[in-house]
Amino acid sequence: MRISFANDYSEGCLPEILENLSKTNFEQIGGYGLDLYSKSAIEKIGQLLGAGPDQVDVHFTAGGTQANLIVISHVLKPFAGVLSASEGHIATHESAAIEATGHKVIMLNADPYTGKLDAPTLATFLAEYWANPESEHSPFPGMIYFSNATEYGTHYSAQEISAIRDVADKYDIPIFIDGARLGTALAAEPEKLRFNQLIDLVDVFTIGGTKNGALSGEAIVFTNRKENYADRFRWTLKQRGGMLAKGRLLGIQFDTLFTDNLYFRAAQHANQMADLLRAGLKQRNVKFWTETKTNQLFILITPELKQLLLQEFIFLDWLIPSKQQLSELGIEESDQNYHVVRLVTSWATQSEWVDQFLDRWDDFANL
């Protein structure tokens, strides 16, 4: 069996989740997210956020794309679009799921290495948009979207999000953080963003379970910090097919994830395995596309070495850098070709797998 560093959803789920699904199997409980486990999970998430009674609205749905399209289509007015980095997940990897709900993804240039949206880029776009006397001829910027962690495994600090918040407040726009990989972003050192800071910084965010040890599922959290964007959300959730009759599947999983810090421990493990891999690769003078602190690593590798490693490990091709990009990354005029590949660790990655990968790297690199 080839060891996989392809993604963080190759394995089934955390044993605690499987155990609780099995333990509760014959219980007859209500459906559609109104069961006791969903309620308990919602309470735990609210407590961790430091939310007062009914301050946050929490809902569950099965997947990340589904969560994004349901949240965005619920919050936006019919004529509005959502602002995203051109590398953002909704802009690149969701088959126009947002556009299919009738809302344009308005792409803004982001740093091509980090994939991060920044406050000055947003401020410039919005200033120009509103300076245009004919602004109503192009989609209304109705929401700011970014994922944390990003497509490039980078993450946002509280300060960076706060700077985006200032711009959003100036133009009265809600912020939505796609947290499909929120766990690893929260576990990333340094500049740690604390979970409970999200309640003041953003209007809605998701807590990804699928990529952090759940069988599947995302929690959607409306913070109601200014406006009640969650109003009638259950109708949108139902209409767009995101409300599971067997809501217990999501409730039990999130209730388990938010017991004894399991969610945070799972993400920490993924990051620790990535740290091991990163340190080993750095010792071997491997170049990185971008510096990350989460469970995703993007490295430069020769096509020959890549092919050899692919015989024993699974990982993904990401891109082929241009000569200019190679030079920006410090690789000057080289006859050597490089590809960028993505290596991902997960809650289930074993340190022995990392050792094996590095050992084989040495074997093949020295051929």
Ligand X SMILES: Cc1ncc(COP(=O)(O)O)c(C=O)c1O
C-alpha pair distances (Å), 331 with each of 14, 20, 219, 338, 366: 41, 51, 42, 10, 20
H or E segment and range at residue 136: none
DSSP letter string, 196-231: GGHHHH-SEEEEE-TTTT-SS-EEEEE--SSS-TTT
Closest CB to ligand X among residues 116, 181:
181
Query: Could you say whether residue 210 binds ligand X (CB under 6 A)?
Result: yes
CB 165 → ligand X: shortest distance, Å? 20
Query: Could you say whether residue 89 binds ligand X (CB under 6 A)?
Result: yes
Neighbour count for residue 307 (Cβ, 10 Å): 12
Closest CA to 244 of 205, 213, 215, 222: 215
DSSP letter string, 165-190: HHHHHHHT--EEEE-TTHHHHHT-SS
What gap in Å lies between CA 177 and CA 90, rounded to an integer? 12
Query: Could you say whether residue 65 binds ligand X (CB under 6 A)?
Result: yes
- Any alpha helices (H) in 11-157, and if so which ranges? 15-23, 36-49, 64-75, 89-92, 119-131
CB 103 → ligand X: shortest distance, Å? 16
Neighbour count for residue 23 (Cβ, 10 Å): 10
Closest CB to ligand X among residues 33, 46:
33
Closest CB to ligand X among residues 64, 247:
64
> Computed from CA positions of residues 326, 331, 337, 342, in that sequence, does the dihedral angle turn out positive or negative?
negative
Closest CB to ligand X among residues 290, 361:
290
Residue, CB closest to ligand X: 64
CB 86 → ligand X: shortest distance, Å? 15
- Identify which range of 30-38, 64-72, 235-243, 262-270 contacts ligand X by CB under 6 A: 64-72
Among 40, 44, 63, 365, binds ligand X (CB under 6 A): 63
Q: Please say whether the beta carbons of 158 and 202 come within 8 A.
A: no
Among 91, 106, 167, 180, binds ligand X (CB under 6 A): 180
Query: Could you say whether residue 61 binds ligand X (CB under 6 A)?
Result: no
Closest CB to ligand X among residues 170, 246:
246
Instruction: Kindly state the number of chain residues that form the binding site for ligand X, as judged by CB under 6 A.
Output: 10
CB 140 → ligand X: shortest distance, Å? 23
Q: Please say whether the beta carbons of 183 and 261 come within 8 A.
A: no
How buried is residue 242: exposed, middle or buried, by Cβ count under 10 Å (0-12/13-18/19+)? buried
Query: Could you say whether residue 147 binds ligand X (CB under 6 A)?
Result: yes
Query: Could you say whether residue 153 binds ligand X (CB under 6 A)?
Result: no
Closest CB to ligand X among residues 126, 341:
341
CB 72 → ligand X: shortest distance, Å? 12
Among 35, 57, 178, 255, binds ligand X (CB under 6 A): 178
Ranges within 181-200 binding ligand X (CB under 6 A):
181
Binding site for ligand X (CB under 6 A): 63-65, 68, 89, 147, 178, 180-181, 210
